[in-house]
Structure 1
């Protein structure tokens, strides 16, 4: 049995549906990614790359072409985000989070709406997804969120929240029940991350001489 075949064999069943190893381990990495991002730890990026490789395998097996393509782009975006945080750390030893400007918000929203429409049309035209527009929405939303995360913009948590709300029913409908359950945990962690980054953004504005975030350093330190 080759690696791809083994990754997509069932590890166990959840609600009467099989959970492949790729879905299991990929989502464990995804959960770890969110926890590390909440702590502003640079290791969130390589862990996300590993998780995306595993979830790519799971999505291909489930026939979700848009979600599979999403994982490829996430890997590329994670490499970019990783370099951005490394540069910031090299320059100042910290990454300062901030709220986006209204112009940046408008750009992010336009990218999300237009990108979803265009990519959804492509998926539908090629027959690459059984539910093209929600599939496209998750794909584009992930790109927008990771771009905002790489720029250390607080709004990236809002985008992930919007992606999760669509991802839960889509994953369950596509047979990836474990992914749907994990998305519920994401919702909780995204809210915690939003609260934490929001507070730190205000600290940066009110007290710029104090470090807002330290990569690789726990908030309690």
Structure 2
């Protein structure tokens, strides 16, 4: 599998590796499937994570490697969560998180980011430990929220993208940078779609309550 570290093509003076290209294309596909609440999103995310591990290893970004390991593990968990939701409700149930859930998600993300950054810094595991740790932890938070069916998972991805784009370009992974930019647009569209979905579900529940 060494060919994954080879350059696939060059464009505008930037060299694009196979692992960076293939892994991120799979990631885009997984995001689009998640937008449509397709359970196939999870195995595609898992495959994307497997490919991108080699890309971040070559860029000396421990957080990026950790992020993809999180993607792999969480993809398995997310698959089981969505399967259970389909059995119980006939569809993937989505909702806004409660204020308590939001507070726990934000606080947990902040604490884990600091802890991971200090580990990266102490052991020299990344050339940009704080940004790398932020992306690692933000990805974990986003995928937990997605598995729970929270609309806020799209907002978590926006927060990750804002740091991920410049870090990817500065780490010699331009395709990741470009894909993060595309992610940003898809995330905004996905946020709108899930938001409207919750409004439709609330309206349906209200009407059922009135007619009951």
Greater fraction helix: 2
Residue 29 (structure 2) pairs with residue 32 (structure 1): yes
Residue 125 (structure 2) pairs with residue 128 (structure 1): yes
**RCO higher in structure (CA 8 A, sep ≥6):** 1
1:207 aligned counterpart, secondary structure: helix
Once residues 157 and 186 of structure 1 are traced to their aligned partners in structure 2, the CA distance between those partners, rounded to angstroms, is 10
Question: What's 2:72 paired with?
Answer: 75
The answer to whether the Cα contact below 8 Å between 1:14 and 1:177 also exists between their aligned partners in 2 is no
2:18 aligned to which of 21, 46, 61: 21
1:208 aligned counterpart, secondary structure: helix
Question: What's 2:151 paired with?
Answer: 154
Shift of 1:17: 2.7
Shift of 1:209: 7.9
5+ residue gaps, structure 1, are 211-221
Once residues 39 and 111 of structure 2 are traced to their aligned partners in structure 1, the CA distance between those partners, rounded to angstroms, is 31
- Greater than 6 Å deviation, 4+ residue runs: none
Once residues 24 and 115 of structure 1 are traced to their aligned partners in structure 2, the CA distance between those partners, rounded to angstroms, is 29
Question: What's 2:182 paired with?
Answer: 185
Once residues 82 and 161 of structure 2 are traced to their aligned partners in structure 1, the CA distance between those partners, rounded to angstroms, is 24
Question: What's 1:59 paired with?
Answer: 56
Question: What's 2:90 paired with?
Answer: 93
Once residues 179 and 40 of structure 2 are traced to their aligned partners in structure 1, the CA distance between those partners, rounded to angstroms, is 20
Question: What's 2:210 paired with?
Answer: none
The answer to whether the Cα contact below 8 Å between 1:14 and 1:178 also exists between their aligned partners in 2 is no
Once residues 167 and 195 of structure 2 are traced to their aligned partners in structure 1, the CA distance between those partners, rounded to angstroms, is 29
Question: What's 1:6 paired with?
Answer: 3
RMSD: 1.1
1:98 aligned counterpart, secondary structure: coil
Once residues 15 and 51 of structure 1 are traced to their aligned partners in structure 2, the CA distance between those partners, rounded to angstroms, is 25
Residue 154 (structure 2) pairs with residue 165 (structure 1): no
Question: What's 1:200 paired with?
Answer: 197
Once residues 82 and 93 of structure 2 are traced to their aligned partners in structure 1, the CA distance between those partners, rounded to angstroms, is 10
Once residues 65 and 16 of structure 1 are traced to their aligned partners in structure 2, the CA distance between those partners, rounded to angstroms, is 26
Once residues 109 and 12 of structure 2 are traced to their aligned partners in structure 1, the CA distance between those partners, rounded to angstroms, is 33
| Number of corresponding residues | 207
Q: TM-score, normalised by structure 2?
A: 0.95
